Chain A
């Protein structure tokens, strides 16, 4: 039992880092432009398909496709921003929810139309095998995914605190009007935040694919997981997102150990509703 718990907790911590990276893109978009993107999970799902196809056609390992998928997704983010988001930023919230739900339904079913319902997994991948640490077996793929996630988060934090562009993004997030008065092009910051958020999804998707399969339905789960983390983190910055991801990963691990793995989503979403009730500003929020 203890060994099982230990094993599950290690898995939970590794998954938690990945969850945090997936949510980071959403947190960035939400933080900067206060936009409520219901299609986030579908973005993740489409990115996972991109990883699958690029890996298949170029015959390169899935983890390497992150170098291709991230820039593609940055552009994809800009296009979606121009087509949809730009028109609904700052309008009334129901329009934002409805438009992004439309996007979510559209993307999910386009994926279904294009790639049918069967799950797809990478054909081959260099990140194989596992390391054994005492009683715990750590798969290399998950370990790499977690390390890359933390690395990407540190890089984003450095970008937000040490570059002019990053500072401008944070200024826009703190006070849009003041930032605008100081000569920051707010719309360009929005586009940048949306593109960056999507590029992060691209990186995350490549490494998730090294140990998971994708099907057109998987978007909902990724979307809701990201929302849980964003709500938990509040507007608490990158470290808040990472901590929330870790908490969620460990909650999942405990649930799997002590109850039924099939119910793990039920526990996670109940936790989500509970946090919405009692801590709507998040556990690590500064506002």
Chain B
């Protein structure tokens, strides 16, 4: 990893760490920021499989649900701290990913078929947990309400979760930069551009796709555990196909794998804020207006700018920078 890779991460972290203070810890805004960070971490993790490896994965909710149930069940039944439960949830999610992913890549499922198989896995798990009364079942299972204890990681406000997610986001960003610069990263890009050509060049396509999938599933499983802590209960609807779709939509609109990785949190920030604004102002008259917005933006971006918005940001950033430099040159 180079120093130039670290600079933007440090700047971003400092900015995001200050944000809750900028809104004076207002509960509503901190909650909003927490969800923005939650989706940012998911999309940034998704970049490994969806961006670098170019597989349109819609199983994010499977991994979130498995991570949530693993952490939550260990916590409520055996009093195991989330510090252990969260990574274990990541492992369970990665195990499930391997179970589904190995044959999926082995039999060469690609493109739409991969997307369909992965979104089906979400529904399968949701229904199985609904029927599996010992662990899941149709009723909510609440996590212990022991607020403020570090052992239980349960807090009354959202700010602590915001900072936990910020730490996770930084780790996932670093992970992405590291993978991108590694041999695995170059292999994955080659696979995304042309799988047959990559295979002919001697890249073990299946192995590297599976590796990307496992990394992504592990991280997403961990985020699922944190999600359960924030929501405070377990329910089969944590296996939510809409979450999967939302993550993929943000990834595609953000141009996952095309430009800079920072385009993904930036896109999440913009789209989630607009959709929340729509929901809070017009949602009373038009329920689902914020979700309509997701559909519109995805369709429009894919039809007009199929490579996503990352390049647009870069051009914008370049223009702003040039304007600032010009002003400084003119002033001095």
Contact = CB atoms under 8 A, between A and B. Distances in A.
A257 to B, nearest CB: 15
A278 interface: yes
Interface string B112-145: 1101110111011111101100000000000000
B54 interface: yes
B292 interface: yes
B127 A273 contact: no
B287 A266 contact: no
Closest 5 CB pairs of A and B: A106-B295, A102-B299, A102-B298, A266-B127, A105-B295
A280 B120 CA distance: 15
A227 B109 CA distance: 15
Contacts of A265: 123-124, 127
B119 to A, nearest CB: 8
B294 A105 contact: yes
- Max chain A C-beta neighbours (<10 A), residue from B108, B109, B123, B130: B123
A56 interface: no
Interface stretch (B149-157, B245-253, B316-324): B245-253
Contact of A263 (B113, B130, B241, B302): B130
A88 B120 CA distance: 24
Main secondary structure of the interface of B (DSSP, over half): helix
Interface in A197-211: none
B56 A110 contact: no
B100 interface: yes
13 contacts: A91-B306, A95-B306, A96-B112, A97-B115, A98-B56, A98-B249, A220-B123, A262-B127, A264-B127, A266-B131, A272-B117, A273-B121, A280-B113
A98 B252 contact: yes
Interface in A214-268: 216, 220, 224, 227, 231, 259-260, 262-266
Contacts of A280: 107-109, 113
Which bucket holds chain B's interface residue count? 35 or more
A104 interface: yes
Interface in B284-311: 286-289, 291-292, 294-300, 302-303, 306
A116 interface: yes
Size class of the contact patch on chain A: 35 or more
B269 to A, nearest CB: 20
B111 interface: yes
Interface of A: 36, 38, 84, 87-88, 91-99, 101-110, 112-113, 116-117, 216, 220, 224, 227, 231, 259-260, 262-266, 269-270, 272-273, 276-278, 280
A266 B128 contact: yes
Contacts of B294: 105, 109
A23 to B, nearest CB: 13
A36 B131 contact: no
Contacts of A116: 287
A224 B291 contact: no
